[in-house]
Amino acid sequence: MKNIKDYNLEELKQEFVQMGEKPFRAEQVFRWIYKEEVKKFDEMTNLSLELREKLKQNYKMCNYKILKKKQVASDGTIKYLFDVLDGNAIETVLMKYHHGYSICVSSQIGCKMGCKFCASTGIAFVRSLSSGEIVEQLLAVEQDENIKISNVVFMGIGEPMDNYDNVVNAIRIINNPKGINIGARHISVSTSGIVPRIYQLAEENIQCTLSISLHATTDEKRSSMMPVNNRYNLEELLQACKDYTAKTNRRISFEYALAKDNNDNIEDAKRLVKLLHGMLAHVNLIPINKIENGQFDKSPNENIMKFRDYLNEHGIVATIRRELGADIDAACGQLRRKNLKD
């Protein structure tokens, strides 16, 4: 059965027309789901009983069940493991910042990219999530905590650009003022660097923030950490980023996870300054989270601060990301990996 949350408003209107219903009914349903956040067609009280029945026969609502919920008292981060209703589990992380709540959503069940430092590597890829399955993470968390989320980052499990259409559609649903209404500027998509999709995203007219998981400053090093670099090298990746900024006027956020004696040397910082020279960029330095049996160790704080200071002194805005939720395995894929082993 079709998941009603898989449709953006325009598509839902088309669905309704095909069912012989007026498009404004689709808008009513859209409001019920994303503004009122109801979980059942029966709660949509301004629809006739007959229409509610018709909807029930043709669509499912797909409300997630919480399999696990872990909270860190110290920073307010909450990690969810949801049952996506087909026996598979996905992770979503809720983070509390001074400016509001931010949610980190998964885009796939597993990941194909094979980054050497990531907890999803080594676990079989299952499938991509549908747009409704992506959006439901936000609805389920808002309902569970009784909050309104203001920022969405596609930094959970999966490679968003390897599930491009569903991710873009999910953004359109989340962004719609008649529903969840989170501005595109408050939505970030993170990619390991699938270059053709970066060019495509620049043409969508969405204005979301693009985050690039860079992590290294030479092709040799980057390829050793991230196999995707063998397909799209640094030069091609940075060219695509420049195009994204030229088309959207948006600053790019570069993620750089520091691993001891691997990519945390001042020589790396120097090369990074050269690579990003003249770009509208921000660098997010992340102390790498060591995964079980992982080959990378976290850089000492001293190296991280030196790295940041070098960048800042040479015209690149760099900040060290707060390690939210480190004690609940909030890093990419860690909770799911544990659960699979239990």
How do beta strands 78-83 and 65-71 pair?
antiparallel
CB of 260 to ligand SAH, least distance (A): 12
Contact call for residue 257 and ligand SAH (CB under 6 A):
yes
Rule CB under 6 A: choose which of 332, 335, 336, 337 binds ligand SAH. 332
Active-site choice (104, 111, 208, 332) = 332
Nearer to ligand SAH, 4 or 259 (CB): 259
Note if 332 is an active site residue. Answer: yes
Token output for 75? 């920073």
91 binds ligand SAH (CB under 6 A): no
Closer to ligand SAH by CB, 55 or 226: give it. Answer: 226
Q: Does 210 bind ligand SAH (CB under 6 A)?
A: no
φ, ψ of residue 258 to 5 degrees: the values are -90, 125
By CB under 6 A, tell whether 191 contacts ligand SAH.
Answer: yes
Q: Which of 47, 105, 286, 304 binds ligand SAH (CB under 6 A)?
A: 286
Candidates 1-9, 36-44, 94-102, 110-118 — which segment interacts with ligand SAH by CB under 6 A? 110-118
Q: Work out whether 213 is an interface residue with ligand SAH (CB under 6 A).
A: yes
159 binding ligand SAH? (CB under 6 A)? yes
Closest CA to 135 of 43, 32, 203, 33: 33
For this structure, is 91 an active site residue?
A: yes
Q: Measured between alpha carbons, how far is 147 from 109 in angstroms, rounded to an integer?
A: 26
Q: Site for ligand SAH (CB under 6 A): which residue of 137, 192, 299, 303? A: 192
Task: Mark the segment that binds ligand SAH (CB under 6 A) among 60-68, 78-86, 87-95, 109-117.
Answer: 109-117
331 sits near ligand SAH (criterion: CB under 6 A): yes
Four-point Cα dihedral 165, 83, 185, 211, nearest 10: -70
Out of 175, 190, 209, 299, point to the residue binding ligand SAH (CB under 6 A): 190
Q: Which stretch binds ligand SAH (CB under 6 A): 60-68, 136-144, 233-241, 283-291?
A: 283-291
Is residue 118 within the footprint of ligand SAH (CB under 6 A)?
yes
Q: Does 187 bind ligand SAH (CB under 6 A)?
A: no
Residue number, 39 or 70, with CB nearest to ligand SAH:
70
Tell me the catalytic residues: 91, 332
Binding site for ligand SAH (CB under 6 A): 113, 115, 117-118, 155, 159, 190-192, 213, 255, 257, 286, 288-289, 291, 331-332
